[in-house]
Structure 1
């Protein structure tokens, strides 16, 4: 079927959008409002511009191009310092060393036989101490977190050679993901590492590691860390267990999704939550906390994130609109389904046209 004169073929639209984004990026002072508007419609896969666009959308790069090199050098150096500080563990040695400090010749004998007198070991230095400030207890928690991060990273997109496999490239990428997640956890004691954060980090690292500029690609780990921190800052309340039952926690967010669906499709909201008793927490908990990374293939997730990252002040609102659009797009099947059918459908969302999904989401203003 011939294309309408007023509806250019997708290839022409792609070229036009790419040229407009390239023009926006070429300015000395980048108009972020213009860039957000263009990126919200999708960033073309060609020309390797997505890496730069995402860094601008997340505030990692300033809008003044003249400051880019200075800012990148500063941030990458800061990340190197984080790695030096947080990716080495000397708890056992530090505890033993402190126990021996200041005891002169007497400790020479203690070192020789490898024993410390009971009087020399404080409560907080005792290996069996459960005190929160006990370094041994902190070491145990740290080791447990490390194991969880390692397990999750190895499960990240097992179908992609970029993330999984025995190649040195895949193993190097896994190591970078682990480094970022561990440093984030150490710097954010109130949240630490929450299972699934690896899935949120993965698209960022993939895009930055595939930057055609080799220098940028080589610093993908550092760049991903700061962009990951910025992205999560808008969703951190969903990961804080203490806020789970508050208006700003994950339950409050799920309630907002229910209210949004009721605003635009009361019949569907009633059928899901009253008639079939399929509440948002049964399916949308994963949608929201993992930013839709598990509901679509990786390429589609990247395109969804072009839109998601384009709203600096309301990324959560944008995410909720996309979730609501997902429900509306399959409303006929949901209205015809019972609890079992609807739950299965929502927990394994069917393939869909991402462009149409984002178009519907944009209409929910």
Structure 2
């Protein structure tokens, strides 16, 4: 149990980083208050008397079976159904078959014999169900037992181009290149049609979007571009002209008394963003200042809040890659990009960021109630998924608001490398409510990913330092794919039955 003196010393050091002259703005580093202690959220209804605990819990069942799902299903079949209703008989039949084969393989392992062949994929008519259940193979039961689990790579999950070392040269890399080329061809065929099928685009995008087609795919998934190809050029021109008309109308007032505090806070926050090699270039700084100031002026219900600034970068980087040759866009020299191209990137970034924020604006209104509710939901979800982990945090007086506020406020951007955020947003934009709803399950999966490390810490300060500085600097696309697979599994199990696993 942490001592009061240790906690006071920790928070004193943390708060000393904020200059006293800066007006307080709720955001990633400054959670406003604990909603439970201030009574801003409704208290949970008292639970009825606990029933006798069953011998076999859901968590025990999951631990015994989560490695049962074979990793060899076809990509397109796996990603075919984010929002579709699954037929119960089909699900149960396939589940029984997978578990039966899993038991056989476990028996073979104990006897030292060779494993039987993996379960063949279901008939084509049953492919819809595979994603809903088969991605459970990506969970990490071995970590729960104290040993790191080997990463199993499913063909349904995109391979990380950024993984260094021998993995990039492993046997079969030529096949992976062919597979990626095939995916790129599918995207290009879909985008080249007279009317893009947005549902098909979402299905393909769930497992990642190839870099060459990502800019146009994001604009379509954001609802910024129309599906009709013939209307796109006119739409882009009209929206770009509309944005710069707003700049001309409002940006000159940034030093006015009514707006100077907002503009000053924006200028303070931008240098704190990442990646520094990109953000600290003067032309980029000017672009971000304009985007954020115009958005704040046009959305007085929330205005500018710390955290919104981070949401500009992924859109800017993705749209910029259309105009540069460097693979590492986050370190590109912007001075070589033509002025007209930068103007287009700026306008497109503003409109797509605005559409994202339209769906999560409660996160940034006064007292940020959207984030408060999501953090509370995260705690309740983790308590049902992994009660020992939840109790460990509670025992050491670590509150979810102290670390998960930033996860919700910045959509995990401060926790992940930029290229991982871009990959994560491929999936968020393909989900019906990716940024507002699916993100909750991603945060739960992200916390569970560090279960072993969290349980090893026995001090409030060490726990909080770990949770605020998780070691993800070397993460790649494969890590994000496994994270998303676990998040989808949690959503499938809990989203439609929030009370099902409560005692």
Q: TM-score range by the shorter chain?
A: 0.7 to 0.9
Conserved 8 A contact 1:43-1:50: yes
What is residue 113 of structure 1 aligned with on the other side? none
Superposition RMSD in Å? 2.3
With the length of structure 2 as denominator, give the TM-score of the two structures.
Answer: 0.57
Q: 3-state DSSP class of the match of 1:312?
A: coil
1:179 to 290, 305, 312: 290
Shift in Å at residue 223 of structure 1? Answer: 0.8
What is residue 142 of structure 2 aligned with on the other side? none
What is residue 483 of structure 2 aligned with on the other side? 357
Q: Distance in 2 between matches of 1:324 and 1:341?
A: 20
Q: Distance in 2 between matches of 1:191 and 1:316?
A: 17
User: Runs (4+) of structure 1 moved beyond 3 Å?
Assistant: 4-13, 212-218
State yes or no: 1:199 paired with 2:310: yes
Q: Deviations over 1:51-86 (max 9, x none)?
A: 111111110001111110121121111112101110
Q: Is there any run of 5+ residues in structure 2 with no aligned partner, and where? A: 1-70, 74-154, 156-171, 325-337, 493-503
Q: Distance in 2 between matches of 1:363 and 1:71?
A: 38
Aligned length: 302
Q: Distance in 2 between matches of 1:257 and 1:191?
A: 24
What is residue 311 of structure 1 aligned with on the other side? 431
Shift in Å at residue 154 of structure 1? Answer: 2.5
Q: Distance in 1 between matches of 2:180 and 2:483?
A: 18
Conserved 8 A contact 2:427-2:434: no
State yes or no: 1:140 paired with 2:265: no
1:69 to 222, 233, 239: 233
What is residue 59 of structure 1 aligned with on the other side? 223
Evaluate the alpha carbon distance shift between residue 333 and residue 239 of structure 1 in structure 2; reply closer, same or farther with a 3 A threshold: same
2:193 to 20, 27, 46: 27
Conserved 8 A contact 1:209-1:218: no
Conserved 8 A contact 1:29-1:65: yes
Conserved 8 A contact 1:156-1:199: yes
1:229 to 354, 359, 367: 354
Q: Deviations over 1:249-299 (max 9, x none)?
A: 221111111122233223322322x22222211111001111111101111
Higher helix share: 1
What is residue 127 of structure 1 aligned with on the other side? none
Conserved 8 A contact 2:219-2:352: yes
Conserved 8 A contact 1:295-1:349: yes
State yes or no: 1:300 paired with 2:417: no
Q: Distance in 2 between matches of 1:33 and 1:20?
A: 14
Q: Distance in 1 between matches of 2:193 and 2:427?
A: 22
What is residue 149 of structure 1 aligned with on the other side? 266
What is residue 320 of structure 2 aligned with on the other side? 209
Evaluate the alpha carbon distance shift between residue 279 and residue 44 of structure 1 in structure 2; reply closer, same or farther with a 3 A threshold: same
Q: Deviations over 1:312-337 (max 9, x none)?
A: 33422111111111111111222232
